[in-house]
């Protein structure tokens, strides 16, 4: 028999999907009417006028649903704890939408992200340990506090970096959140964070109806959507999966393993730009999805590679969380090795292909 809580969760998840469909469709119509299109330049790979405010639609729906879930909770302490995360999400979304209309200076964007990250770290939403089996030595909590801050700001930008192909950022985020939900439910059947995960998956699904390359995206999520997703993906492992145990958060190395695709792509981009003497915020066409397209893959092929790898990472991290002792660490290590091999193989195959291409003498 379905409990009242489960019934309410199912209803909220379905409503999240329906409202997201409506909101994204509305943004598509308004953006087309107002000519709010994504800027076309030499680094963009899409053709034609594509609206860019899909993120404003699905993210607004999620924030509204999350606020409803939080306010209806009977525990006042629970409502208070979630005030700052929701406030930070609103700040990131609004600044991202502003950036979609008129590009903000990199320093201004970073400052806003710093403020949003502080709204999370200062109230105590931080990593509590590196592994499940290793407690942090007393007096060294500040190390994880700093790493939590870097984690939030870094991942907010990392998801923006991989948002370069129809359906890529949204699909990878959907699969990552699915893994989060499975992990939280495996740790606690009554995890309050799992419901937020299901609602986020639902709003992403509503957006992907319009964003998947079938045959081409009708709307993009824009910076508002990609930064919002990066921020909330960074936030989920910092939330307590149990109501009564503030130390019950996902350890750093498990959360990082789940999001290695945007993390490694961003690390490679920063290294590449520093090596070439370029500012790290300047875009280029050397991201992993660009390399896959250089090999002849279309958007659906690129998505397939990333989705497949994200599913592998999600399963390895889930099984690692459910295992104990050496088996857990072996599975976790396998996730890191798999992701690194994924990027290294694509890099060298792409470089070999580029070298073999004849020079254009025309």
Q: Rounded CA gap, 284 and 265, in Å?
A: 12
Q: Would you say 163 is a known binding-site residue?
A: no
Greater pLDDT, 319 or 46 = 319
Position 360 pLDDT exceeds 60: no
pLDDT digits (tens, 9 = 90+) for 249-263: 899 999 999 999 999
Three-state SS annotation for 262-301: HHHHHHHHHHHHHHCCCCCCCCCCCCHHHHHHHCCCCHHH
Q: Which residues contact 43 (CB under 8 A, 6 or more apart)?
A: 283, 284, 285
Q: Residues, the chain, total?
A: 362
Q: Rounded CA gap, 331 and 253, in Å?
A: 12
For residue 228, CA distances in Å to 58, 67, 152, 275, 283 come to 10, 16, 11, 29, 19
Q: Which residues contact 78 (CB under 8 A, 6 or more apart)?
A: 70, 192, 243
For residue 159, CA distances in Å to 98, 162, 268 come to 18, 5, 14
DSSP class of residue 49 equals -
Position 227 pLDDT exceeds 70: yes
For residue 311, CA distances in Å to 183, 188, 231, 263, 353 come to 13, 22, 21, 16, 27
Q: Which residues contact 244 (CB under 8 A, 6 or more apart)?
A: none
- Among 40-54, 74-88, 206-220, which range has the highest average pLDDT? 206-220
The beta-strand segments (E) located in the chain are: none
Cis status, amide bond into 59, omega within 30 of 0: no
**Range from 61-65, 85-89, 137-141 carrying the lowest mean pLDDT:** 137-141
pLDDT digits (tens, 9 = 90+) for 328-357: 999 999 999 999 999 999 988 888 776 554
As a whole number, mean pLDDT of residues 104-129 equals 94
Q: Would you say 145 is a known binding-site residue?
A: no
Q: Rounded CA gap, 44 and 42, in Å?
A: 6
Give the sign of the dihedral formed by CA 266, CA 270, CA 47, CA 225: positive
Q: Which residues contact 102 (CB under 8 A, 6 or more apart)?
A: none
**Which candidate, 235, 265, 255, places its Cα nearest to that of 165?**
265
pLDDT digits (tens, 9 = 90+) for 266-307: 999 999 999 988 888 888 888 999 999 999 999 999 999 999
Domain map of the chain by residue range?
Answer: 4-253
Q: Which residues contact 204 (CB under 8 A, 6 or more apart)?
A: 20, 58, 170, 173, 174, 177
Give rounded-to-5 percent helix, strand, coil for the chain.
70, 0, 30
Q: Rounded CA gap, 206 and 21, in Å?
A: 5
What are 180's two structure tokens? 């989060």
- Contact call for residues 247 and 126 (beta carbons, < 8 A): no
- 221: helix, strand or coil: coil
Greater pLDDT, 343 or 42 = 343
Greater pLDDT, 334 or 49 = 334
- 37: helix, strand or coil: strand
Q: How confident is the model at residue 4 (pLDDT cuts 50, 70, 90)?
A: confident
Q: Which residues contact 173 (CB under 8 A, 6 or more apart)?
A: 159, 204, 229, 233
Position 167 pLDDT exceeds 80: yes
What are 119's two structure tokens? 């709204």
> What does the pLDDT read at residue 241?
66
């Amino acid at each position: 028999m379905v409990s009242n809580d489960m019934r309410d969760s199912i209803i909220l998840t379905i409503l999240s999907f329906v409202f997201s469909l409506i909101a994204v469709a509305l943004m598509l119509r308004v953006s087309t009417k107002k000519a709010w299109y994504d800027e076309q330049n030499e680094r963009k790979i899409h053709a034609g006028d594509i609206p860019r405010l899909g993120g404003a639609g699905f993210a607004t729906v999620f924030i509204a649903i999350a606020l409803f879930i939080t306010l209806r909770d009977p525990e006042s302490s629970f409502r208070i704890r979630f005030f700052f995360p929701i406030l930070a999400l609103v700040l990131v979304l609004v600044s991202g939408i502003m950036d979609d209309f008129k590009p903000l200076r990199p320093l201004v964007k970073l400052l806003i992200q710093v403020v949003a990250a502080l709204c999370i770290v200062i109230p105590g939403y931080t990593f509590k340990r590196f592994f499940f089996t290793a407690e942090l030595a007393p007096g060294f909590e500040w190390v994880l506090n700093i790493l939590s801050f870097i984690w939030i700001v870094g991942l907010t930008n990392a998801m923006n970096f991989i948002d370069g192909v129809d359906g890529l950022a949204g699909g990878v985020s959907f699969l990552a959140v699915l893994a989060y939900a499975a992990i939280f439910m495996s740790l606690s059947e009554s995890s309050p964070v799992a419901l937020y995960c299901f609602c986020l998956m639902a709003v992403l699904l509503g957006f992907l109806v319009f964003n998947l390359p079938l045959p081409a995206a009708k709307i993009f999520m824009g910076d508002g959507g990609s930064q919002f997703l990066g921020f909330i993906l960074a936030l989920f492992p910092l939330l307590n999966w149990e109501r009564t145990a503030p130390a019950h958060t996902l350890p750093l190395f498990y959360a990082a393993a789940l999001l290695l695709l945007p993390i490694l792509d961003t690390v490679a981009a920063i290294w590449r730009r520093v090596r070439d003497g370029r500012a790290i915020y300047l875009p280029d066409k050397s991201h992993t999805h660009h390399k896959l397209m250089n090999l002849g893959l279309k958007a659906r092929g690129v998505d397939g590679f990333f989705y497949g790898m994200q599913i592998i990472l999600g399963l390895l991290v889930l099984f690692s969380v459910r295992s104990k002792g050496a088996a857990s660490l072996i599975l976790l290590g396998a996730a890191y090795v798999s992701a690194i091999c994924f990027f290294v193989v694509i890099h060298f195959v792409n470089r070999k292909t580029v070298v073999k291409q004849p020079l254009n003498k025309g």
